[in-house]
Amino acid sequence: MQLRYTFRLEPGPGQRIALARAFGCARVVYNDALKARETARADGLPFPKIGDLSKLLITDAKHRPERAWLGEVSAVVLQQSLRDLDAAYRNFFDGLTGKRPRMGAPRFKSKRDNRQAVRFTANARWSLTSGRKLCLPKIGDITVRWSRPLPSTPSSVTVVKDASDRYFASFVVESDPGEVLPEATGEVGVDLGLTHFAVLSDGRKIASARFFRRAERKLRKAQQNLARKTKGSNNRKKAVVQVARAHARTADARRDFHHKLSTTLIRENQAVYVEDLAVKGLVRTRLAKSVHDAGWSTFVTMLEYKAARYGRTFARVDRFFPSSQLCSACGVKDGPKPLNVRTWTCQTCNTVHDRDVNAARNIRIEGTKVAAGQAETQNARGAQVRPVLVPAPRATRTPVRKKQEPTRDSQPTGRAQTGIPGL
């Protein structure tokens, strides 16, 4: 498994200028390549390959007066910029064919973008000096704030400048196979929410930190200060950075909370099960700000990759599984309940349930079945949770090859067209 380790950089004034030059050159090559491909598409010509673009936009462009300054940065940075564009097109076309979620077509980059990045591979001959500094070609030795050692030799490093004017080095390393944790005995189901960020099947409740809500007042003041500045002035540029830093502090605190909680769950349990929430749908409701503040998707992603890294079991329960309607004791489905009902009593076994704890227990029960590859049409107690797709009687099936309606004398052939057209 490939992992990323990110550390803060402290470049000097001259190194900041050199990094800005590298960001600009990579951006220009990216935009030139995008323009060349869009021109070819408009003319009905095949897309130029990455090798042809490299020769035209990098090798030959360095000998032209209007692009001679491309030689002031490492050629690997420019090559990786072309690879980024190629990956963007590949992801776009895979989204159109259904191989991955849909995403927009590649767009031109701007020097005013909040995030700038360049990547150095092994061909760039970057290195870590004996003084634990990051040596980059045509930039120099940059001081790194090491928070922990790298587990192995990194294959590449990406230098990132974010909106808050901070610089980071992101190293790509291969994980150590010996990092598998000792086998644990527990299994836990996690029910994510807003009042409590997570409710576990063992009864524990983790309160929601609400990082954005707590910082909202300071953010509002910073944004009001920004709105009073004259556009194009230096004071406005400083105010933009102050707003970005306020947001960065909130995001960093949320990320730290997610990392600590996900690591704790992975270390304590052999298997972790969560519900596959429809976050994209929830952010369209009046709860959008609270849903974004919780950051469920990031937390679940951390659980998933940490489980794969440390030899744990991880599974997602289908979002349509009625975890709040089933009794975790007897398995009877008691029907939907309004959100203001936090406790309820099963009419069959008279068990009093906490709504969230009961949902987490049902997620653990169903997650065990999902992880084992069993059918999801019944819960652990044999109760039906959703109707099964039953084939239509032969007399009512829609024929595929015959256009006329089926009659008593002629039996239709083929299968019923019950899927989505085009799939």
Q: Which among 320, 418, 416 has a CA at the least distance from the CA of 377?
A: 320
For the chain, the average pLDDT equals: 86
Average pLDDT estimate for 203-223? 93
* Choice between 334 and 362, residue whose per-residue pLDDT is larger: 362
Q: Scanning the structure block, which residue is given the tokens 């992992």?
A: 3
Q: What tokens were used for 392?
A: 């239509």
DSSP states of 253-312: HHHHHHHHHHHHHHHHEEEEEEE---HHHHTTSTTHHHHHHHTHHHHHHHHHHHHHHHT-
Sign of the Cα torsion 382, 386, 389, 390 reads positive
**How many angstroms separate the Cα of 24 from the Cα of each of 53, 68, 113?**
18, 13, 11
Q: pLDDT tens-digit profile of 274-297?
A: 998 888 888 888 989 999 999 999
Interacting residues of 389 by C-beta distance below 8 A, sequence separation 6+: 418
**Number of neighbours of residue 402 by Cβ within 10 angstroms:** 12
Strands 2-10 and 140-145: antiparallel
Write down the pLDDT at residue 331. 86
Average pLDDT estimate for 352-362? 91
Query: Which ranges of 64-197 would DSSP assign to H, the alpha helix?
Result: 75-97
Percent with pLDDT over 90 in the chain: 66
**pLDDT class of 144 with cuts at 50, 70, 90:** very high
Contact (CB, 8 A) for 335 and 297: no
Sign of the Cα torsion 170, 171, 175, 180 reads negative
Write down the pLDDT at residue 178. 67
Contact (CB, 8 A) for 208 and 194: yes
CA geometry: angle at 36 spanning 68 and 112, to 5°?
A: 65
- The answer, yes or no, to whether residue 84 has pLDDT greater than 90, is yes
3-state DSSP: the chain helix, strand, coil percent, rounded to 5?
40, 20, 40
Q: Which of 9-18, 19-28, 63-72, 379-388 shows the lowest mean pLDDT across its residues?
A: 379-388
Active-site amino acid positions: 191, 275, 356
* Choice between 397 and 113, residue whose per-residue pLDDT is larger: 113
Q: Which among 172, 173, 169, 150 has a CA at the least distance from the CA of 159?
A: 169
- The answer, yes or no, to whether residue 395 has pLDDT greater than 90, is no
Helix (H, G, I), strand (E, B) or coil at 324: coil
- Go through 66-84 and write b for each residue having 16 or more CB atoms within 10 A of its CB, e for each that does not: ebeebeebbbbbbbbbbeb
Contact (CB, 8 A) for 155 and 165: no
Question: Which of 271-275, 377-381, 409-413 has the highest mean predicted lDDT (pLDDT)?
Answer: 271-275
